[in-house]
Amino acid sequence: MAAFGDADRRLISAHLEDLVGSAAMGGPSTLASRLIRFAVEEELAGRGADIHEKLVGEAALGRRPGYDTKLDRIASVIKAKLVAERLPAYYNSDGARQRVRFGLATKGFRAQIEILPERLSRTAALRYLRGLRAYDERSPAGLHVAAQELEAGLDEAGGHAESFALLADLYATLANFGSDPRLVMPLAETYSRQAIALDPRSWRGHVALASVIASVHHDWESVERHLEIALEVNAAETRAHPWYNALLVARGRAAEAAAEMEQIVYERIDLLRVPIVRADLALMLMAAGQLEQAEHVATELLADGASSLFFHLHAGLVCAAQHRFQDAIDHMQVARQHPGGLALVPSWEAFCHGRLGNQSEAERLRREVEGGSGWISCFFRSAAAVGVGQFEEAIALLEQGLRDGEPLLLWAGSWPFYEPLRQNPAFRALLNRNGLRTNTN
């Protein structure tokens, strides 16, 4: 018997349900469906070698115990039709793109289970690789290029679950990079569910779906379940750990998240080469109140040449959390020089100027934010409102952002920028309604 891990078993079970529910099989109650289900389930249970004709007839096809297989050949007849007609009809139609293939041994009734490797056409493969490369840049422009490449390759992607999963992950990420979550999160949910339907082992599909469920539906049990599947399938993956630890932060367990993330990053030298992972670590340390460590990580990033908009923004946020507002403004000024920076940097400049007491400059920057074209994140707008002391407006913006599904607001209870709101009853009620926690409750 082939050894199947938990992820393979989920893939096989999902395929079995698709097969027996198909038109080619005539539905789950037909004798052919009952036979193949019994054979596959016995194989997964480790009893495949023990299957024989009489057992199939009695356990799967409704024959009485002890019936005579010489007089009643029902099992052999159904097997012959299943192998010659039903399975080929399914795998030439609805099941053509499935990675799992079922059959029955030539002699006897033992199930044969094969999991095929994922395949892409040359064109789709090139588009996938270009999309992945652009995605890894983690810039607004790069993410949009990645979306275009991946969308263009979907028609040829067939059953390549990873193409759908990467597109889902990309759209969920765009919600953190200035795109309207009301537009991108439904796409992320659709593509992640398609990826999981194609391959229940798709770690990236589960990560993307977890981010959508957390941001839009606030169903924390489902979030944790999908992230645990992702980590079970690929415990080394860099995208799964930050999202799992982000869940811990949202639930008021920032110190635990930061400790686990720090251990993972510094135990694996390959992760030290991934700037976005170290940036995530800096933010988790900041959320946990470990500001010196957060500054150390952010400073290391810049010293190592990670100079994009978001790494300067991260460094500025850490400075702001330490109440070093002028240093934060200096980083924001550098971030402004990068493509995509103008849409979000003024919000944080307004926050810092307001906290420094430069009210006129803070108000000017806030007007710049509110007067911008297109959709503007409620997260950024609420930060500017806090900076100028408009706390009720900030809470209203937070409520709107959580309703719209902004992922960055999942840390509303832990972001140090909302410190002036922490004891506000309306703010605390807002967190409770969405299942969010501070690191003090």
- Helix, strand, coil fractions of the chain, as percent rounded to 5: 70, 0, 30
Residue 65 has pLDDT above 60, yes or no: yes
Token representation of residue 215: 């941001």
Q: Over 90: is that where the pLDDT of 190 sits?
A: yes
Residues 6 or more apart whose Cβ sits within 8 Å of residue 187: 167, 168, 171
Residue 438 has pLDDT above 90, yes or no: no
Q: What is the pLDDT of residue 246?
A: 79
pLDDT of 230 strictly over 80: yes
pLDDT tier, 166 (very low <50, low <70, confident <90, very high otherwise): confident
For the record, the structure tokens of 400 come out as 């709107």
Place of tokens 């906290």: 355
Task: Report how far apart the first and last C-alpha atoms of the chain are (Å, whole number).
Answer: 51
pLDDT at position 298, please?
85
For the chain, what percent of residues have pLDDT higher than 70? 85
Largest pairwise CA distance in the chain: 96
- Position 76 confidence tier, pLDDT thresholds 50, 70, 90: very high
Q: Which residue has the tokens 């992640």?
A: 192
Question: C-alpha angle with apex 406: 402 to 411, nearest 5 degrees?
Answer: 75
Q: Residue 401 — pLDDT band, cuts 50, 70, 90?
A: very high
- Summary mean pLDDT of the chain: 84
pLDDT bucket at 213, cuts 50 / 70 / 90: very high
Give per-residue pLDDT as tens, 255-289: 887 887 777 666 665 555 667 777 778 888 888 88
Range picked from 14-18, 104-108, 134-138, 276-280 for highest mean pLDDT: 14-18
pLDDT at 77: 94
Pairwise pLDDT comparison (11 vs 278), residue with the higher score = 11
- The CATH superfamily assigned to 118-237 is Tetratricopeptide repeat domain (1.25.40.10)
Give the model's pLDDT for residue 267: 66
SS3 of residue 412 by DSSP: coil
Cα(190)–Cα(94) distance, integer angstroms:
20
Is the pLDDT at 156 greater than 70? The verdict is: no
Residues contacting 365, CB < 8 A, separation 6+: 346, 347, 349, 350, 353, 384
> 3-class SS at 140?
helix
**54-68, 145-159, 356-370: the lowest-pLDDT one:** 145-159
pLDDT category of residue 441 using cuts at 50, 70 and 90:
very low
> What is the model's pLDDT at position 105?
84
pLDDT band at 27 (very low <50, low <70, confident <90, very high): very high
Secondary structure (3-state) at 393: helix
Listed ranges 50-64, 124-138, 188-202, 227-241; the one with the highest mean pLDDT: 50-64
* Structure-model confidence comparison of residues 62 and 303, the more confident one: 62
Sign for the CA dihedral angle at 43, 49, 51, 52 comes to positive
Q: Cα separations (Å) of 83 from 50, 76, 87, 88, 89? A: 20, 11, 6, 7, 10
Q: Is the pLDDT of residue 394 over 90?
A: yes
List pLDDT tens digits, range 286-321.
888 888 888 888 888 787 765 666 778 888 889 999
